[in-house]
A and B are shown apart, each in its own frame.
Chain A
Amino acid sequence: MAEASTRITARMRQDVADIRALVMHPMETGNRRDAKNQLVPLHFIQRVQVTHNGRIVLDAQWSQAIARDPFLGIRVRGAKPGDKVALAWVDNRGARESVETVVAA
């Protein structure tokens, strides 16, 4: 995918996994005009899911009001180093991406 890429980290902080993700995505509102004064079409991530060892820990619905190159931080109890954490998203054009990481100590 040319326009998007996703990074995720998960690290233990005491007994909670601190999960942070950054997605490179334009998150266009549909109101912005380009250099030729043409409206740039609405283009944004609509759904995001985070799993911990395959279990859904966050299910999000987003609008175009999430900032360009979205950041997401959540905290999950009951995780331990080595556990698998994954994130997937889909945007309003049907583009999607998923990434996986392991929880660091």
Chain B
Amino acid sequence: MKRRLLLQGGSAAFVLAAPALRLAFAQPSALPSALSAADWNKAGFEAKTAAEAIRQLGAGTPASSKDILIEIQDVIENGARTRIEVTSRIPDTRALSIVTDRNPYPLAATFTFGEGTEPYVSTLIKVAESGTVRVIVNAGGRLYATSRDVKTTIGGCG
């Protein structure tokens, strides 16, 4: 039955792949529904400037905010593997995006939070060269932004 739902909802290529079958037949109660790469902000991720990437988030121009905390090294030791921790203190934060201005494709990721999830994320990103790292928060349908200038000694997009 689960498999049939997948067949109806997903592309045949995904369904026929062995890992998809494993997902379909594993304990369904707690597992995420079949993920589709269709729900992916292609225009945003293929944008080549930060301004265009932010425009493709589709909620207008961000207002500058001091309530978004970015933890990242000021001088990045390894641009291929840079720890970034973000916390939003803006009420009703629904999503946050990481935008690295000097990367070939600035939009690195968008994280959308479910109810009860703290507006916090910790991850590792690639930073190609010295420049600005921005975090754009969507709170209540409006965008807010904070940025940090970082320096790299070894870039990370090779």
Contact = CB atoms under 8 A, between A and B. Distances in A.
B: interface residue count bin = 35 or more
A75 interface: yes
Contact of B14 (A55, A65, A70, A90): A90
Interface in A55-85: 55-68, 70-78, 84-85
Contacts, number: 163
Nearest to B79: A67
B94 to A, nearest CB: 10
Interface residues of A, number: 52
Interface in A70-105: 70-78, 84-92, 94-98, 100
Contact of A58 (B13, B22, B104, B117): B117
B125 A73 contact: no
A90 B124 contact: no
Interface of A: 1, 16, 29, 31-32, 46-68, 70-78, 84-92, 94-98, 100
Interface of B: 11, 13-14, 17, 19-20, 22-23, 26-27, 29-33, 35-37, 39-41, 45, 80-82, 85, 100, 103-105, 107-114, 116-118, 120-126, 156-158
